[in-house]
Chains A and B, each alone.
Chain A
Amino acid sequence: MTGNKRGHGAVIGRLLAGAAVAALVLQAGGAMAEERTKIEWWHALGGRLAEIVDKLIVDFNASQDKYELVGINKGNYEETMAAMVAAYRVGQQPTLVQAAERGFLTMLNSGAVVPVPELMEKQGYDIKWDDFVAPVAGFFLVDGKPAAMPFNSSTPIFWYNADHFKAAGFDKPGETWQEIDTQLRAIKEKGVSDCSMVLANDFFWSMLENYAAIQDQPWGTKANGFGGLDTEFIFNQSPMVVGQLERLQSWMNDGVLQLAGQGLAPDQLFTSGQCSTFVASTAAHAGVESTAKFNWSATFLPHEEGVEPKNSTIGGGALWVMKGETDAEYAGAAAFLDFVASPATQAWWSKETGYVPVTMTAYEAIKADGYYDEHPTREIAILQLSRGTPTDNSRGFRFGNHNQSMQLLVKEVQSVWTGEKTAQQALDAAVEQGNQILRQYEKLHAGG
């Protein structure tokens, strides 16, 4: 869940990435023997992450000679999901698809997927499902097993330009939102930067949903949807969540917080040194490490004064296996999932991208060779994810058609940015419309 992937405007980048993938595919197709079974995988990773995914695919294809995995970037998570659904309706779906945590319940109830444990068992692979790190297991496991293979798991962290903080007279960002407020305003007033913070494209996740989790505020009833389809959104009733949106609004009005807008990825405004901070996925490591030319760092998400912070929630994607494929394709898909789940791939993937390792074995391995001592910002996400005991409000979110309600929330929040609505009015409207979607989903899936 990085800004990269949600960088709606980065169309050119995506086109170029697509062309690069196509070129790779052509090359691979020319060089490989004909008898390899082709396995199609649609993913949602763009920018630097797409390059790392391509490397993963090349490595998998080189590791065996029976299958050829073809990875295709279908845009961001929502676009990938939409493309997959459209393809599924006409029987043209890929074997594997990457879907975000937001689509978990939708995918689970879709009737269009083959549960991963079932597939792995049938194909004779033995995966230790109890090896997943707690935050991943807590979100993805249904009756002790995941319906999909957790792949790229992340959580938002607080990124900052250490040079800017020093120039404004601060050692590091404060731990509470109140301190952050003072610091961001000081950065602007002292003329250190015109843009104290840039709003990530997935701010609804990093600044609102995760805010609610860390502050232990309910987003919906029934344990944020874990308790049943008759859940309702209630985030508009939390004075803290409303206050958070009001804070963002006042930052925006005072020019402390900026929108990148279409045609520009917020990540670029941070990595170019223009904006001092941004709250985004730990997966931004891939992009920040390769492009930022200043003294950058990251820390835990802030919390409210006087609140004991809870864990943040997991974001990112899992790999789902679609129904309606041939046995040979399923064998290939299982081989790839086994490859992905192996500790070696996990450790490599986590180091390259900044995503958290999803298995304990991989986590211990990375820790054992001192990687986190050298790269302390890499461990923030997993520490923050496993902080304390998860409550019903911090375990995660499991809502039907959550993509839809999220889009409506974003639209309502935009009307706060434009000044048409107050924070309370916007959240009220988002809850009302979101609940209609939940009821519609409940109606459709009441039997299942």
Chain B
Amino acid sequence: MPAADGSIEIGGGASRRPRTSGGLALGRLFPRASSAGLKTAHFRQPWLAAGLLTPQLLILVFFFFIPSYKALSLAFVQVDPFGGIQIFVGLDNFLALFASADYRDSAVFTLWFSVVQNVLTLGLAGLFAFATDYVIRGRGLYRSIILMPYAIAPVISGVIWAFLFNPAVGPIAEMLQAIGIPWDPNRRPFDAQLLVIIASVWKHVCYDYIFLVAALLAVPASLLEAATLDGAGHIRRFFAISVPLITPTIFFLIVMNFVYGLFETFGVIDAMTRGGPAGATNSLVYKVYQDGFVQLDLGSSAAQSVVLMIVAVVFTVLQFRALERKVNYGV
């Protein structure tokens, strides 16, 4: 099914990338398949391999290994923020963290926020992507409108949402209050959480939408036509043919949405609620920032980021393990 290849590239990541497409000048560096005991592709001269790897490795060293090392080394000490005094405290930072009710609340909020955000984003993006096929006039305009939020910086969109829903001056808040909803994200934690979810979903729907539209385009028309002849309606065709064929994309998006929810909603939260009221929207990442860069408690902040890193790693591994078997990459 060559037509589906496009979606594999997007959805499946690197797993199926052709390995022997060296081409041009590099072609001569690839040995013939007869080279005994070697894989089909390898470099005869190590310097080239090293050279090609260096940029990526440097990025990893500077943006992952050095920060991780710093975080690890800070997680076991208490420091004066200016760096003058440092006391080794062993696991104290972690013990204090796990004993802290604030930290538990933050973890619970982050979990349900990420799940709800994920379901809503994917659901809405799926709906919009499904509808794209049925928008005949102004399809370009339709797409552009949906894609627009992605071009707006998170902080700016946060400020706009915060203003629209501000209980004192916001037009949407006024409408809600007019129909009897006592909307007030400054005093009602749930309202604040809802606000953060709305803004995060709004910001991220377009991302999922692009991928879903691309994936749906790659679904072979012949299958859909065959299903139509068999009497399947629009919705039946979508769920019975299209969705199973784009599962790699959906899986990829689920992972990306979790990453977004866990790590990238910082700007939105900072602009709209600052983690409040009373810590109701203090997500784990926002807490790392608050404790580290506002409160200058670097030890605790480092411990939190270590925990977060472990969670992220474990979570990703589990997700891949659990979902890989059910996702058909070999369409």
Contact = CB atoms under 8 A, between A and B. Distances in A.
Real complex partners, A and B?
yes
A122 interface: no
Contacts of B87: 443-444
A411 interface: yes
B309 to A, nearest CB: 20
A418 B277 contact: yes
B77 to A, nearest CB: 10
B295 A404 contact: yes
B134 interface: no
A187 B178 CA distance: 23
Contacts of A88: 82-83
Interface residues of B, number: 38
A238 interface: no
Contact of A417 (B78, B277, B297): B277
Contacts of A263: 159, 162-163, 166, 271-272
Nearest to A252: B187
Interface of B is mostly: loop
A92 interface: no
Interface in A219-275: 252, 258-264, 269, 274
Nearest to B102: A411
A418 B293 contact: no
B78 A407 contact: no
Contact of A444 (B80, B186, B274, B277): B80
B6 to A, nearest CB: 40
Interface string A64-93: 000000000000001101100110110000
A178 interface: no
How large, as a class, is the contact surface on chain A?
35 or more
A262 B271 contact: yes
A440 interface: yes
Given A12-B159, A88-B83, A443-B87, A260 B78 contact: no
A36 B147 CA distance: 48
A112 B128 CA distance: 56
Contacts of A448: 85
Contacts of B274: 8, 262
A259 B278 CA distance: 14
Given A263-B272, A414-B276, A9 B162 contact: yes
Interface in A8-42: 8-9, 11-12
B83 A403 contact: no
Contact of B294 (A82, A111, A262, A440): A82
A297 interface: no
A401 interface: yes
B187 A417 contact: yes
B188 interface: yes
B296 interface: yes
Interface string A95-121: 000000000001000111000000000
A443 B78 contact: yes
Contact of B168 (A258, A420, A443): A258
A261 B185 contact: yes
A112 B296 CA distance: 15
Given A8-B274, A11-B159, A414-B276, 14 more contacts: A82-B293, A88-B82, A112-B84, A262-B272, A263-B271, A264-B162, A264-B163, A401-B295, A403-B294, A403-B296, A404-B296, A417-B278, A418-B187, A418-B188
Interface of B: 78-85, 87, 155-156, 159, 162-163, 166-169, 185-189, 271-274, 276-280, 290, 293-297
Give 6 closest A-B pairs by Cβ, nearest first.
Answer: A263-B162, A415-B278, A414-B278, A261-B186, A259-B186, A111-B84
20 contacts: A9-B162, A82-B293, A85-B81, A85-B296, A88-B83, A110-B84, A112-B82, A261-B166, A261-B186, A263-B159, A263-B162, A269-B168, A404-B296, A411-B276, A415-B277, A415-B278, A417-B187, A418-B280, A440-B78, A445-B85
